[in-house]
Amino acid sequence: MEGTVEDGQYQPKNKWYIRQVKQYNRLLRKLLVDDFSREALDKIFKDTLEEFKYILPTIPCVDQKENPNTQKLVIAAYFLTLYKFMKEQGVTPVEMGKIVYDVTVMKITRIPKILRWAKRKNFFSEKNIEILQKLGIYSKSSRNNDEFVFDVKIKDEGELCVTYRCCPIIKYYMENGGEELAPYVCTLDIAIGKVLGTGVKVSKTIGWGNSYCDFSYKEGREVNHYDFNKVG
pLDDT tens, residue by residue, 175-226:
999 999 999 998 888 899 989 999 999 888 999 899 999 999 999 888 766 6
Residues of the domain holding 30: 5-217
Amino acid, res. 228: F
Helices 93-109 and 69-87, packing angle to 10 deg: 130
pLDDT, tens only, 146-160 = 678 899 999 877 899
- Is beta strand 149-154 parallel, antiparallel or unpaired with respect to 213-217? unpaired
For residue 146, the model assigns a pLDDT of: 67
The pTM (predicted TM-score) of the whole model is 0.87
Ranges of the chain whose pLDDT falls below 50: 1-8, 12, 64, 232
The span from the CA of 145 to the CA of 142, in Å, is 8
- What are the CA-CA distances from residue 39 to residues 33, 35, 44 (Å)? 11, 12, 9
* Structural domain contains residue 132: yes
The span from the CA of 30 to the CA of 102, in Å, is 11
* Structural domain contains residue 31: yes
Number of independent structural domains in the chain: 1
* Structural domain contains residue 230: no
* Structural domain contains residue 60: yes
* Structural domain contains residue 231: no
Q: Which long-range contacts (CB under 8 A, 24 or more apart) does 162-168 make?
A: 162/132, 162/136, 162/215, 162/216, 162/217, 163/212, 163/213, 163/214, 163/215, 164/206, 164/212, 164/213, 164/215, 165/140, 165/212, 166/139, 167/205, 167/206, 167/207, 167/213, 168/60, 168/62, 168/73
For residue 228, the model assigns a pLDDT of: 61
What is the domain-level CATH number for residue 94?
A: 3.90.1520
The span from the CA of 190 to the CA of 19, in Å, is 23
* Structural domain contains residue 226: no
* Structural domain contains residue 42: yes
* Structural domain contains residue 49: yes
For residue 197, the model assigns a pLDDT of: 92
